[in-house]
Amino acid sequence: MCEERLQKFIASCGIASRRKAEEMILNGEVKVNNITVDTLGIKINPDKDIITVNNKTIIKKTNYIYIKLYKPVGYVTTVKDQFERKTVLDLVDIKERIYPIGRLDYNTSGLLLLTNDGDLANKLMHPKYNIYKTYVADIEGAISKESINKLKIGVRIEDYKTSPAKVRIIKTEEDFKSKVEISIYEGKNRQVRKMFESVGHKVKHLKRISFGQIDLDNLKPGQWCYLNNSEINFLKYQEDYNG
């Protein structure tokens, strides 16, 4: 087997995401052949080298798990929370160690994917795949066609302009509130909320209903299930789906 970067190997073993693996290395939690490694860029040979994380030997996984969860409001999208709030992993009762692909903020509900396939999780977060995530937002006030067009083209948030979005009005209740569907392929912190705020509308409720071709199906808040083969293939073969 060819050499590969240490953080990539750790992620492929299902220990943590690649970014978290980098933190573990820098914190001195990782050893290669019983020698502590605390710098990035090290390459290892998985067939010969012995890798330990927190003094436990790790091996690459061959059986991966892919799960979709209907995240309720009031849960954080992380493995462990420093403030001891409930995390999405509290909802998934399995013995294998998994972690989320991307994030949903504390007050946002809806579709969240989880896996122990670190390589795939890292790949799916790469901007080149442009995977659209679709949300339904309940916002204050009646949104205008002009504002919808601004969201479609891209709006300026803080120090960046958002990429073009797909947006449609589901319904408007006089001047009180609107329900809007919006699809984006970026994933910046609280992006959808900030996009609507930029055109003068506060988001009251936000739910993600799909990740590319994967949707919530019949899941209810707090429920989860394993992805089917079609959904897994969609995640694994993005090059085919994106031409």
Distance in angstroms (rounded) separating the CA atoms of residues 128 and 106: 27
Catalytic position from the list 49, 81, 105, 119: 105
Tokens 């073009």 locate to 164
Q: 108-115 and 203-211: which strand pairing? A: parallel
Cβ burial, residue 184 (10 Å; 0-12/13-18/19+) = buried
CA distance 114 to 119: 13
Tell me the three-class secondary structure of 144-167, residue by residue: CHHHHHHHHHCCEECCEECCCCEE
Does residue 159 carry a catalytic annotation? no
134 close to 181: Cβ distance less than 8 angstroms: yes
Single-letter residue type at 212 = G
Torsion of CA 151, 157, 161, 165, to 10 degrees: -30
Pairing of the two strands 160-161 and 156-157: antiparallel
What is the C-alpha end-to-end distance of the chain, expressed in Å? 30
Count CB atoms within 10 A of the CB of residue 242.
11
Using DSSP's 3-state secondary structure scheme, residue 54 falls into: coil
Sign of CA dihedral 87, 89, 92, 93: negative
The catalytic residues are: 105
